[in-house]
A and B are shown apart, each in its own frame.
Chain A
Amino acid sequence: MVLRKITMASLLFALLILPVPNMEDQGKVHAFSDQVIQHGAVGQDVIELQARLKHLGFYSKKVDGVFGWSTYWAVRNFQYEFGMEIDGLVGQQVKNKLVKASKGYEQALPKNEGSNEQSAPSEPTAVNVPGGYSQNDIKLMANAVYGEARGEPYEGQVAVAAVILNRLESATFPNSVSGVIFEPLAFTAVADGQIWLTPNDKAEEAVLDAINGWDPSGNATYYFNPNTATSSWIWSRPQIKRIGKHIFCK
């Protein structure tokens, strides 16, 4: 009986002191760098900004390190409340005001554990994605570009990605990324399985460029390698230009 009580007591005690060691680690506060932070930025400065704005109640979403629209409005509201110029840019003046206003933030961090305010992550947990394409769409396209054109110059890879996007826009092709890529016989890399090779960063960068509007193919919806093309029909298409080994056509 006594033994049981002692065990209970020590267990309770252990529970009480357990969270303590973690606190010191989280007490570390990142300081702002001297860069002006603006819409679209990603990084630790943004985390710091979001966490402080959240602490003051201007920002209600997750602290994710990406300066999106919610952060933008939060900054503008902050600037309005503190009588500053409302431009959504976080320069030195705004940072000073913010640090001053959120003085309690540093002390508040460790104590807030367990409450609904989450502590800030050390790295951004989100990324910018262009024009409604998800990271997975981008990955799938990067796979196709790498499988089809990894030996090509950079512009040739962007052009292949652009052809996929031009097909999405076209009435005569499927209207999803996967539909275009997996259309039977549309891409040789799909037929022979090279699409499942692991793409490098260059292929992904090429896809991002194409989504952001770079189209070196000149609005092409087809391309072929003149050395291996077997269809005479493809030769009859109006040709736009040649990049590397591929001829791009309408």
Chain B
Amino acid sequence: MFRWITISLLTITVIGLGAFGYKEHQEKTAVLLQAENSYQRAFHELTSDVDTLHDKIGATLAMNSRKQLSPQLAEIWRITSEASSDVGQLPLTLLPFNKTEQFLYDIGDFAYNTAIRDLDDEPLTEKEVAGLEELYKQSGDIRNELRKVQNVVLKDNLRWMDVELALATKDETADNTIINGFKTVEKSMDGFQQTNMETGMSSSPEKQDFSHLGGEKISEKEAINIAKEWFGDVDDSKFTVTQSGKGADVPTVTASYNEDGKNGYMDMSRQGGYPFMIMINRDIKEAEIGLSEAASKAESYVNKLNLDNMQLVESSQYDKVGVFRFVYVKDDIRYYPNSVQVKVALDNGDLLGLEAIEYFSHPDDNVNKEPGLSETEAKEMVNPGLEIQDNHLAVIEDEGGEPTLCFEFLTTKGDETYRIFINADNGNEEKVETMRTSEQKFDA
């Protein structure tokens, strides 16, 4: 009797476990399949986008009228953006695929800028046509390589989940057909980057300029002394000093310490020890001082940098801290690229952070300081539906990163505030911004 009960109980348990295991397995398969399908979709869309891209670039080469060219280029711009988005959905982050991504970006950038240009006034130059021909060739190569990979994927039922697994767990030397295919695509881009730079299709990355700073290389001891000027009385032995590596834009020395729940971090230039960045982290108590008092504190910290003519242009309170932006002002011109940011604790007004690398990386030179337009002339360039409240002369960086002298107008329309920069020489609208700095709380 007792034995029978045991046997039947065990049988039920075994059957139950089996059913449970089977169900779990089925669910896991379903989830994996869904992930696989979304990878497959992104991949096949990518190949089809590159295919269309190649065709469209080819067609532009044969076109002559603006009526045809501009919409076609706008279409190219749209497709590159979709292709980039497809790439972003594939597990390629750990694969060297940047050159191809850069290539897509460059085509999009070129297509956009040409599409919005008045091609009747400024038709495609010979150099640009040569560049387009080059892009046509390159997109053809990428298309072929991707088609090859796609063919193998379909023929051999290759799974992207295996790619993900191979990349996430093992070294990517693992032999995987898809990975190898994408590596070939990337390799085909190797030679192109140079030619693209020459034809102006690809822009060389922006370099920050610190050469004007000068100064001697600082020692560890000096670095600690500079840090102590800002952190106050901290024992020398508490500091950790490290040097930046080869990839840094500018060689820096970092001094950091951690004591009594307070964490201090400071970056300074290796040459001359200029303070680039300071961060202090600690628990902040209830706010005791107002933003305005904190602003004058912030000013005293900026003065400590020995920079002249810094003016407060922006202040914001975030819970128990105030963040202030100062810009360099000379002859009533605001130099927005030359900015310093300061973070102040509202419990006791102490410095919590300082960021001056923007200031030091923009030498103030070769900017035209005499506006070609008068203020009244510039005002006429502003949308007449706006009410101008305030204006300054200001230097900003234009789309190409070049410093440009502009008239800055603060304007309102209804409840909105807009900031408009009018080029002081040719009256172009360089930049229009909606000044929205706050957002309603949703979980109040």
Contact = CB atoms under 8 A, between A and B. Distances in A.
Contact of A154 (B254, B263, B435, B444): B263
Contacts of A153: 256, 258, 263, 265
Nearest to A61: B415
Nearest to A186: B93
A239 B412 CA distance: 46
A230 B242 contact: no
Nearest to B390: A76
B169 interface: yes
Nearest to A35: B290
A116 interface: no
Interface in A177-230: 179, 183-186, 191, 202, 205, 208-209, 212-216, 218-220, 230
B267 A216 contact: yes
Interface string A155-193: 100100000000000011110000100011110000100
Contacts of B84: 174
B265 A37 contact: no
Interface stretch (A19-27, A97-105, A124-132, A143-151): A124-132
Nearest to B265: A155
Most chain A beta carbons < 10 A, residue from B91, B245, B254: B245
Interface of B: 39, 84-85, 88-96, 98, 101-102, 105-106, 109, 164, 167-173, 242, 244-249, 252, 254, 256, 258, 263, 265, 267, 277, 279, 281, 287, 289-293, 295, 314-318, 321-323, 341, 343, 353, 355, 357-358, 389, 412, 415, 417, 435-442, 444
Interface in A54-69: 60-61, 64, 66, 68-69
Contact of A38 (B242, B295, B321, B343): B295
A212 B291 contact: no
B417 A73 contact: yes
28 contacts: A35-B289, A40-B317, A40-B322, A41-B290, A43-B317, A45-B290, A68-B438, A126-B438, A128-B317, A129-B438, A130-B318, A135-B439, A155-B279, A179-B88, A185-B91, A185-B168, A205-B321, A212-B343, A212-B355, A214-B279, A216-B265, A216-B267, A230-B170, A233-B94, A237-B247, A249-B245, A249-B247, A250-B247
A7 interface: no
A218 B169 CA distance: 29
A100 to B, nearest CB: 22
Contact of A123 (B287, B322, B435, B444): B444
B244 A218 contact: yes
Nearest to B81: A175
Most chain A beta carbons < 10 A, residue from B39, B246, B317: B317
Main secondary structure of the interface of A (DSSP, over half): loop
Interface of A: 33, 35-43, 45, 60-61, 64, 66, 68-70, 73, 76, 89, 123-130, 132, 134-135, 153-155, 158, 171-174, 179, 183-186, 191, 202, 205, 208-209, 212-216, 218-220, 230-234, 237-242, 249-250
A155 B262 CA distance: 12
Given A123-B444, A213-B355, 20 more contacts: A33-B290, A40-B314, A41-B315, A42-B317, A43-B317, A127-B438, A129-B439, A155-B281, A158-B279, A179-B88, A184-B39, A184-B91, A185-B91, A185-B168, A202-B281, A205-B321, A212-B343, A213-B341, A231-B167, A237-B247
Given A126-B441, A154-B263, A186-B93, A209 B279 contact: yes
Nearest to A187: B93
Contact of B437 (A45, A76, A128, A242): A128
Given A64-B438, A70-B417, A153-B263, A36 B293 contact: yes
Nearest to A135: B439
Contact of B172 (A33, A42, A231): A231
A61 B173 CA distance: 61
A7 B415 CA distance: 49
Contact of A37 (B85, B92, B292, B444): B292
Contacts of B442: 135
Contacts of B169: 230
A242 B242 contact: yes
Contact of B438 (A128, A220, A230): A128
Nearest to B439: A129
A208 B88 CA distance: 25
Most chain A beta carbons < 10 A, residue from B84, B167, B291: B291
A146 B194 CA distance: 40
A219 B317 contact: no
A230 B171 contact: yes
B392 to A, nearest CB: 14
A150 to B, nearest CB: 14
A89 B389 contact: no
B279 A38 contact: no
Contact of A73 (B173, B341, B389): B389
Contact of A240 (B98, B244, B353): B244
Contacts of B247: 218, 220, 237-240, 249-250
Contacts of A155: 256, 263, 265, 279, 281
Contacts of B172: 231-233
Given A126-B440, A129-B437, A185 B248 contact: no
Contacts of B436: 132
